[in-house]
Amino acid sequence: MYKKYKFPVQLFLIFENLSLLYWTSTAVKPNHALSFWPAKTVNVLAKVLRSELVLSNSFLVESSSIDTSKYSSSILDFDSFLKESKHLLFHIFYFYSLCYKITFCFPVNNSVPSMESSYLNANWLERELIEMYGINMYGKLDSRNLLLDYTMIENPLLKSYPCVGITEVFYNPLEDCVSYYPNTSVEL
């Protein structure tokens, strides 16, 4: 049996005085809700989730982003949440005491505060966001690359990233070094 529980009322009471514009779905699944919040509330929301008694037993499951730069204007006209944003950042939290999952979505233009001080696993998740999507996190202590070379400044999960590479890189055993050659791909 699914536990009948609505979206946490505590969050509405805390953020009611800030007069923020937010939107919440009734439920994505029986134990999963979706909520859109302004980007400036990321850090405050993390601290509230960590310190509030009912919600304190929570875990940050996933952080990721969607590049909205090539979306049509009809999709982006969603209650002014996505109108002038480059990314849609989302954090998925699981609340053990409630057996409930909430996805918080934040439209992001340039930078967003880090959640590293509230959730320890946010360090790796945010480093991946910085590396793959180019989202700036202020208040971040460690922003080294996880997967890509340190010399790369490109963000491969953006829509502006080219699909075909400029150079071919391979190990040349005759010269005992890594060789870079211009791409010689041929279209058929």
Question: Which range marks the domain in which residue 84 is found?
Answer: 9-162
> What's the total number of domains in the chain?
1
Q: Is residue 167 part of a domain?
A: no
**pLDDT digit string (tens) for 103-152?**
888 888 878 888 888 888 899 999 999 899 888 888 888 888 888 877 77
pLDDT bin (cut points 50, 70, 90) of residue 4 is very low
- 178 within a domain of the structure (yes/no): no
Q: Which ranges constitute the DSSP H helices of the chain?
A: 9-15, 42-51, 73-76, 122-133
**Residue 105, in any domain of the structure:** yes
Closest C-alpha to 35, from 53, 21, 50, 52: 21
Evaluate whether residue 17 is within a structural domain: yes
Residues in contact with 6: Cβ distance below 8 Å, sequence separation at least 6, in sequence order: none
10 pLDDT band, cuts 50/70/90, is low
The answer to whether residue 184 is domain-embedded is no
Residue reference for tokens 């690359």: 145
* pLDDT tens digits, one per residue of 62-111: 999 988 877 766 554 554 566 667 888 999 999 888 888 888 888 888 78
pLDDT at 62: 93
Q: Is residue 172 part of a domain?
A: no
Does 169 fall in a domain? Answer: no
| Dihedral over Cα of 48, 53, 54, 59: its sign | positive
124: CATH: 3.30.460.80
Residue 65 maps to a domain: yes
